[in-house]
Structure 1
């Protein structure tokens, strides 16, 4: 063999050795990457672990806070607000009632025709109106004048045969989804604005009084019969058709719960005991916090960077506003520490809330063999291309860990309510059933979240779960529920017309 041939062979052999070394190094790095990524996922799973023993501790801590909040105002993690709703729908309500649902940059007007036990909710008509931006920072009179004018226009479309008889006012349920200190069933003072509103002259004033002045100004003869929180409306919506309903829970962008409490069990209640002996309590449970909650470094970072650090901790690990961002934060750590998506960190992954919970849900429910939905979401939202099946599987695993924790903690919250009120009453020879009404996009549309919540509640309740406790979906408590509360608190009780 000539010198040239020998030299070429040596060069080729050396190149082959280098190539082999690079392959080994790549495999080692790749193996190390997956090992570290898996370790991060495993650590998250351990920190989010919610065995039944821990859930019972969470429920016990909630129970303690419930008692404290019912005993005194202020200083409690749970506000346990007295709603003045002591007369929930019986199912007998008949007639035409209106609702106004103000909770953001839009508001809804609703007309609800009730037909009692025989016909139930006969007909619902509604209209949505956008609030001009300048009215969100102007004066309260301008805002309420605008709302009153739109409400009057909606009322003008009322069918003639449903007009109230002479001398009878139309009645309205007013859902006002901002922090309010309720002072009666139909009055409450605004504590502060949220959601982009900043109308200074309304703070500390009665919001029903403001709306009523505007209604009177344009000659609309309508009375606000109930000032409503959407969670309380959820209880009312469900109670109209099922008298076993004892609580309502919102699991959507945010989370909250309300339940029917025995009036004697509210030490801070200073008024006369209601004839019904009951009072609906708005828990504001999103603000619950306890050392028993399974918090992670990602939750702590999210809280520290939020608009309200140290507040709404339960909401931040349970509700739809935050679940997707917790997953994003874990993926960001994987990208930064183990090159999970390649040598560079995808810029979009650094944007808070870029990964929404509906997107997380879509990835979690992906049943395709190649997890195509996951791949498309990573590409469309985070601009991460060409992900491997292995990568996609880890993403699904993270979604499952975060959603399962939220669902199981929600179940613990419901369990604490059932535990607090007891419900040992025997009716027709059977122990009275307790039904919890749920609403919100997280419960309605995130199937794996919902099934995990329901199965966890059965675990907590034991063998008698199906016989003594029920879960049902109660749609639109903020709208229909408000109209129903106007009906059950009508000044014409007993004389409603169908």
Structure 2
């Protein structure tokens, strides 16, 4: 009996020893939180890598997608290549007084310009910027357009109404006050002065607008506010920027938006639309302006991580606009936030009680991300300040702050290089990728204007793809507020 008891005791002892050894082994192999974070970021960096070979594959895919989009009305997961029906780009000879409304993101702008022809050009310009309350982005379409119409009506009366008697007011509106409307959402246009919304983007979800003529909705809202103004041009922001660029530089052939969202427009042969439009809809001129809506571009070569896939399916238009969601200002800060959230979830590196602080979607915007990314202060104090103010993360080490900055760099570098893919693809599409004469590309958008490192990565990738000699012949100019000014200019050139 004693022998059996001894063996049982030995087995129990071995069991506890085995557990102790395994526990000790886990302690030995458990990574330091910082080491864990470095590994996660390095894996993220590798997947986001955009080599020259990958970029060239993407350029070719985008060119093919653009060509396909010109031939069909239903181009899923490829640029929509929408006709703008703009045939008369401004040339500097325009004269008169024109208004513009620019709606396309977190704010909308109202402009009034007086054009004096070739010698005087823009004689006078007045601008008012209005914020759109978040609740109106998900309200009814009528509520949104009534809000816009009220602001526009007040602006018009302030800038123009004081010069008119009450008796002249109604007649003067119809006779002279013309409005160019920049509406930076996908629109199915059948003419220069009308089009129906295909779908909302950029966080808007207003009922009663999809499938409706947005010009009619705006004019009805203006009438409800006592202002019967004629909208004679409907465009999007890229077409407006192209018009503004063309007004200043007559060799402008492409326009790019790099801001809250991203898009492009370019001058195309009208004959390229023969399979997309009915014969009666084809432009009468030999060339026309195409709104690419390139945000819808998708390719298996896009460097997409698990975090990007989560964002793709949790953001507006789930599963769509992958290209935009890797590039635009609306999403860059959110990608960084999600990476930081992953670091905290898997390592606890930021402290025990901050995971919930990192869980708030879109609590880090691209502007704040750029502050961390471009921080050159001693000890990266700006990074520390952003982490504390946005997420209540305090006491971070310099090593951790450097890692956060690395995450920003990876996200920004990928975005800038992918934006270059779009530009080079458009140049290739129209045969300018081997150009020996100078051309101009007009760019608008806060991401491009304010994020220096983003611009640097974009330029580097363009030189890499085109070669120094060709890249030197391409002038990229900032057309600040080009989308709004362009609408007024097109209202003039189509009046």
Given the superposition, is the C-alpha separation of residues 459 and 56 from structure 1 closer, same or farther in structure 2, using an over 3 Å criterion? same
Residue aligning to 2:400: 391
Report Cα offsets for 1:438-463 as digits up to 9, x if no partner. 11111011110011111211111113
Given the superposition, is the C-alpha separation of residues 30 and 89 from structure 1 closer, same or farther in structure 2, using an over 3 Å criterion? farther
Residue aligning to 2:21: none
Given the superposition, is the C-alpha separation of residues 191 and 265 from structure 1 closer, same or farther in structure 2, using an over 3 Å criterion? closer
Q: CA RMSD in A?
A: 3.1
Matched, 1:247 2:248: no
* CA–CA separation in structure 2 for the residues paired with 1:135 and 1:372: 36
Matched, 1:458 2:459: no
Given the superposition, is the C-alpha separation of residues 365 and 424 from structure 1 closer, same or farther in structure 2, using an over 3 Å criterion? closer
**Aligned partners of 2:104 and 2:237 also within 8 Å:** no
1:442 aligns with one of 447, 454, 459 = 447
**Aligned partners of 2:105 and 2:260 also within 8 Å:** no
What aligned pairs does 1:455-494 form with structure 2 within 5 A after superposition?
455-490=460-495
Given the superposition, is the C-alpha separation of residues 388 and 143 from structure 1 closer, same or farther in structure 2, using an over 3 Å criterion? closer
* CA–CA separation in structure 1 for the residues paired with 2:392 and 2:404: 15
Report Cα offsets for 1:113-141 as digits up to 9, x if no partner. 1223323322211234567868974574x
- Alpha-carbon deviation of 1:409? 0.4
* CA–CA separation in structure 1 for the residues paired with 2:53 and 2:141: 52
- Alpha-carbon deviation of 1:212? 3.8
Residue aligning to 1:311: 320
Q: Which moved more, 1:417-426 or 1:480-489?
A: 417-426
- Alpha-carbon deviation of 1:102? 3.3
Match of 2:301, SS state, is coil
* CA–CA separation in structure 2 for the residues paired with 1:471 and 1:382: 37
Matched, 1:357 2:366: yes
* CA–CA separation in structure 2 for the residues paired with 1:83 and 1:41: 43
Matched, 1:198 2:187: no
Report Cα offsets for 1:217-259 as digits up to 9, x if no partner. 7775643221011111111111110111111111111111111
**Aligned partners of 1:364 and 1:399 also within 8 Å:** yes
Matched, 1:233 2:234: no
What aligned pairs does 1:17-416 form with structure 2 within 5 A after superposition?
32-76=32-76, 77-103=78-104, 107-128=108-129, 137=139, 140=142, 147-148=148-149, 150-156=151-157, 157-158=159-160, 160=163, 168-193=175-200, 195-196=203-204, 198-200=206-208, 202-213=209-220, 222-266=229-273, 267-271=275-279, 273-343=282-352, 345-416=354-425
Match of 1:100, SS state, is strand
Residue aligning to 1:21: none
- Alpha-carbon deviation of 1:345? 4.9
Match of 1:322, SS state, is helix
* CA–CA separation in structure 1 for the residues paired with 2:314 and 2:221: 40
Match of 1:123, SS state, is strand
Given the superposition, is the C-alpha separation of residues 111 and 399 from structure 1 closer, same or farther in structure 2, using an over 3 Å criterion? same
Residue aligning to 1:12: none
Match of 1:246, SS state, is strand
Match of 2:362, SS state, is coil
* CA–CA separation in structure 2 for the residues paired with 1:92 and 1:425: 32
**Aligned partners of 1:172 and 1:483 also within 8 Å:** yes
Match of 2:230, SS state, is strand
Match of 2:475, SS state, is strand
- Alpha-carbon deviation of 1:318? 0.8
Report Cα offsets for 1:50-77 as digits up to 9, x if no partner. 1111101011000110011001110432
Report Cα offsets for 1:69-120 as digits up to 9, x if no partner. 0011104321111111121111221221111223467643311112233233
**Aligned partners of 1:139 and 1:199 also within 8 Å:** yes
* CA–CA separation in structure 2 for the residues paired with 1:218 and 1:343: 55
Match of 1:45, SS state, is helix
- Alpha-carbon deviation of 1:346? 3.1
Q: What TM-score do the two structures reach when normalised by structure 1?
A: 0.83
* CA–CA separation in structure 2 for the residues paired with 1:475 and 1:489: 22
Given the superposition, is the C-alpha separation of residues 150 and 349 from structure 1 closer, same or farther in structure 2, using an over 3 Å criterion? closer
* CA–CA separation in structure 1 for the residues paired with 2:226 and 2:198: 29
Residue aligning to 2:4: none
Q: Which moved more, 1:64-73 or 1:116-125?
A: 116-125
Given the superposition, is the C-alpha separation of residues 405 and 145 from structure 1 closer, same or farther in structure 2, using an over 3 Å criterion? closer
Residue aligning to 1:493: none
* CA–CA separation in structure 1 for the residues paired with 2:381 and 2:141: 51
- Alpha-carbon deviation of 1:344? 5.2
